[in-house]
Structure 1
Amino acid sequence: MAADDRLRTSTAPRGLSEAPGPDELARRLRDAHRRVRALALPPVDKERIARRFVAICDLAKRDLGHAAARLDLLLADLAAASAVPSRAPETPSPPRPRPVSDTPRERNITQGD
């Protein structure tokens, strides 16, 4: 049995004042983790969002309702971040050609070491 078998389908819709069940929150946390991992942001921004996600996971151990509210805000921020066109990742420059040396390498190796 896979670890997420119970998390494949969403539970019944909840009202605004109800706290989500642990399975529903676990499904949403899993989805948020996948979205954070797939972000195309500079490493500093991605790390900040990942730390925020970890704080929400830690909070979920103590208070499901508060964790769900913070997760809603994180998901809204992720949606806004993915809607904004991100900077194109810098393509690495082609490797520089090696300088041509007029001295053969064999002469630079000391003998007897």
Structure 2
Amino acid sequence: MERDSQLELYEAVATRLKEAHSRVRALQVPEGVRMALSRKLLVVTAAAKHDLADAARRLDRLMKDLDEGRFPEGD
């Protein structure tokens, strides 16, 4: 039973990561900002390999920032 919930969480995180990548690609922002957002997505992806619940929380924060138009500074 626990494995089923873990698989469901993994599927939800994977689906949301795909959505986040699409949203970042579609943003009309300077390339440095896009790169910073891509790095954040890579961190979430890496976190999902070790701590799925933490990755889901990080992704929630990132998506909220995107929704509210808060973007990291670009290089």
Counterpart in 2 of 1:24? 12
- Aligned-pair CA distance for 1:56: 0.5
The structure with the largest alpha-carbon Rg is: 1
Aligned partner of residue 69 in structure 2, secondary structure = helix
Corresponding residue of 1:47: 35
Higher helix share: 2
Match of residue 35 from structure 1: 23
Equivalents in 2 of 1:28, 1:57: separation in Å?
Answer: 11
Query: Deviation digits for residues 80-108 of structure 1, max 9, x if unmatched?
Result: 128xxxxxxxxxxxxxxxxxxxxxxxxxx
Point out where structure 1 has 5 or more consecutive residues left out of the alignment: 1-19, 83-113
Gaps of 5+ in 2: 1-7, 71-75
Q: Distance in 1 between matches of 2:60 and 2:69?
A: 14
Q: CA RMSD in A?
A: 1.4
The higher-RCO structure (CA 8 Å, 6+ apart) is 2
Q: What is the aligned partner in structure 2 of residue 15 from structure 1?
A: none
Which amino acid letter does the alignment assign opposite residue 30 of structure 2? P
Structure 2 residue corresponding to 1:74, chosen from 55, 62, 67:
62
Matched, 1:63 2:51: yes
| 1:79 shift after superposition | 0.9
Q: Percent identity?
A: 38
Q: What amino acid maps onto 1:21 in structure 2? A: L
Equivalent pairs, count: 63
Counterpart secondary structure, 1:61: helix
TM-score, structure 2 normalization: 0.77
Which portions of structure 1, spanning 4 or more consecutive aligned residues, are displaced by more than 6 angstroms? none
